[in-house]
A and B are shown apart, each in its own frame.
Chain A
């Protein structure tokens, strides 16, 4: 018996005897996430974080104090009963834990991996507060993932009960995380659901954007299969606004309600010299080529090419920037630089992703921002010129504003530049849907029930929030689905 198993057994004995005090729980070391070796993973696309062992999961679960007021739940966009699912993990009853999570979350295997728990459920955790360190909070996300993976391994699938057919038809536009949630919840209520996807593969950002090494595609495929088993119809290669408009879906095709979850829109560029050079990508393009089109298999089956980069600069400090940089490493780049105009503290990326990126050898150039991209005579990128920055007064976002230092220009030799500074709203739906209210950035305006200015039309996720996360899209999906079900009951 190894040390940690012995430790676990001792703790379990105390726990069963009812003598495990909070002080004892504080003493249990936070369980580190096992991960693939940093050097080895530079040349494969397999998942980096490999998941807790059963012993680790139960030890981590024992760290939870089971607070009466459960501050963690307030931080969860879908309000999972956190301490209630953690308690059965201690007992080894993973099935019960999974069932409790499923009451509120439909995609635990996804959320356990990609949710920013450190700013959600784990931020208000009493254990983290005690140590004044959010990294020492109970690892709720890792436990969620452990339970979800246990379910996948043991083929524990839910067979959601579906109410008798209502004869009402609902169109879900986009098969990303929000669309999946809406489709599931609305189908459960007995409505006939069709999901429309513009790409030739389903899953939205979970398939084209988030890389395999962070979220294996198999998980997303299982979720889509589940939808199909529930009787949800899925139509790929269908772009609403062009193939059919929302108006046509409602007036001619007989849909009673529509959910718009079309996701990230147009990639933003910086408007600097050289952005049209060959070798300059938006992160969306780079990641789509690599993930969806499997450019990492170019010449080995896949037909979509991607730059054979040796030296890459990624501009931005969010998760998408980290994904791009880490993808470039896996595609064979020797040097990958991450250029961000603020300091590490202001980076929107998850701490875990920043940590993994550094482990994989990505060089961070903080408080730097590109001024122009320089090309050779053939119009191909050969260098990026940056300015050094310092932090000034806080801006509207509350973060200290980066201020350029005049005359501090310097150049880095690169052959590829990936711009990961966000997206603006896709205009297609707005342009083709009369009466749909948009805000000044082109995002769809919704009320607290995710209803748009048009009756029967609901929206959520990035097209409403701007750049958001998988879990926020799912949270809005939940809200919208409830509203759609209510709307259709009255109809």
Chain B
């Protein structure tokens, strides 16, 4: 997690929007990251991500005071927030980060907010306290049962949907497969469901089309038409396949990076050994 000074982005950003980060101008990738929070007074935005590839690992190695060369945003359409009644916010893993400002917005608009937060295990659960502050009820589930209920997020979601007070809206953000099954669940009970997609992107302004998804049989661009869509219309299977497009190359880049880092560490240890102090 980092807070980055980006006053123009902070001034314009609304829940549901994202930024594109490019660590160094010449050679770095452009990666989309959702805005998890902002401080308009300080002019900073909060980014939360999981280090899974080279660029996210590099980002994780930044220290306080370091500079991110390029941040573009805010991008995408903001979340449509109004008083719906009861809103269920379902977050999976790192998806809790973009979900938080939406949950807060929904709460501020006068909705009853029930948050379901899922993670593989206790260690990987994030932002629990923040969600408690903006929700009427928080349900925690973990895959291994190390914290909260041992269940998938779809279990409590289904219970809520078939309960006495059916929610008016569900918002689900997380891995593709989680969103897919959340939507399958809410569809059974006719609960409208918004999902936020984080596909592969380059420019983030509609120019490349790399982020395209099929929604209701039509091609849509996540960066300008989204990132939020009617989850009941999204073709998640296609989306998940597209998101794996560079798995092999990403793995290779990560391995190279790790080796490079190890070498640096070796040099560092060597230098320490040689140091007289």
Contacts and interface: CB of A to CB of B under 8 A. Distances in A.
Given A243-B8, A275-B219, A278-B245, A303 B207 contact: no
A379 B206 CA distance: 23
Interface in A198-226: 198-201, 208
B68 to A, nearest CB: 10
Interface string A297-320: 111011111011000000000000
B76 to A, nearest CB: 8
A200 B25 contact: yes
Given A278-B245, A378-B241, A200 B209 contact: no
B149 interface: no
B46 interface: no
Contacts of A277: 241
A293 B30 contact: yes
B129 interface: no
B207 A288 contact: yes
B50 interface: no
Interface in B194-228: 202-210, 212-214, 219, 221, 224
Nearest to A284: B208
B256 A239 contact: no
B206 A426 contact: yes
A304 B70 contact: no
Contacts of A378: 241, 244
Contacts of B253: 298-299, 303, 305
B12 A379 contact: no
A237 B210 contact: no
Contact of B203 (A271, A279, A288, A380): A288
A267 B202 contact: no
B201 to A, nearest CB: 10
B9 A243 contact: yes
Nearest to A289: B202
Given A243-B9, A426-B224, A298 B249 contact: yes
Nearest to B240: A379
Given A200-B30, A301-B27, A303-B55, A237 B71 contact: yes
B12 A244 contact: yes
B242 interface: yes
| Majority-rule SS of B interface residues | mixed
B209 A267 contact: yes
A267 B214 CA distance: 15
Contacts of A297: 27
Contacts of A275: 219
A236 interface: yes
| Majority-rule SS of A interface residues | loop
Interface in A251-292: 263-267, 269, 271, 275-279, 281-282, 284-285, 288-289
A269 B29 CA distance: 25
Contact of A198 (B203, B235, B242): B203
Given A276-B214, A305-B253, A269 B209 contact: yes
A198 to B, nearest CB: 5
Contacts, number: 128
A272 to B, nearest CB: 11
B209 A285 contact: yes
Determine which residue in A236, A237, A279, A427 has the highest number of CB atoms from chain B within 10 A of its CB, and name it: A237
A267 to B, nearest CB: 4
B69 A200 contact: yes
A238 interface: yes
A276 B212 contact: yes
B241 A303 contact: no
Given A269-B219, A278-B242, A288 B208 contact: yes
A264 B246 CA distance: 26
A243 to B, nearest CB: 5
A379 B224 contact: no
Contacts of B73: 239, 242-243
A428 interface: yes
Determine which residue in B29, B207, B212, B224 has the highest number of CB atoms from chain A within 10 A of its CB, and name it: B207
Nearest to B242: A278
B2 interface: no
Contacts of B75: 239, 242
A330 interface: no
B248 to A, nearest CB: 9
Contacts of A302: 27
A244 B205 contact: no
A95 interface: no
B67 interface: no
B69 A282 contact: no
A262 to B, nearest CB: 9
A284 B207 contact: yes
A379 B242 contact: yes
A428 B205 contact: yes
B241 A379 contact: yes
B63 to A, nearest CB: 20
Interface in B9-55: 9, 12, 22, 25-30, 54-55
A263 B250 CA distance: 31
A288 B205 contact: no
A199 B22 CA distance: 10
Contacts of B209: 266-267, 269, 282, 284-285
Given A275-B219, A276-B212, A200 B22 contact: yes
A468 to B, nearest CB: 16
Nearest to B12: A243
B271 interface: no
Contacts of A289: 202
Contacts of B139: none
A300 to B, nearest CB: 9
Contacts of B12: 242-244
A294 interface: yes
B64 interface: no
Contact of B29 (A244, A267, A303): A303
A293 B203 contact: no
A448 to B, nearest CB: 28
Contacts of A299: 252-253, 256
Interface of B: 8-9, 12, 22, 25-30, 54-55, 69-75, 202-210, 212-214, 219, 221, 224, 235, 238, 241-242, 244-246, 249-250, 252-253, 256
What are the nearest 9 A-B pairs in CB distance?
A: A379-B241, A305-B249, A285-B208, A282-B209, A200-B70, A267-B209, A303-B29, A237-B72, A278-B245
Given A282-B209, A303-B28, 7 more contacts: A198-B205, A239-B72, A243-B12, A265-B206, A276-B238, A297-B27, A380-B241
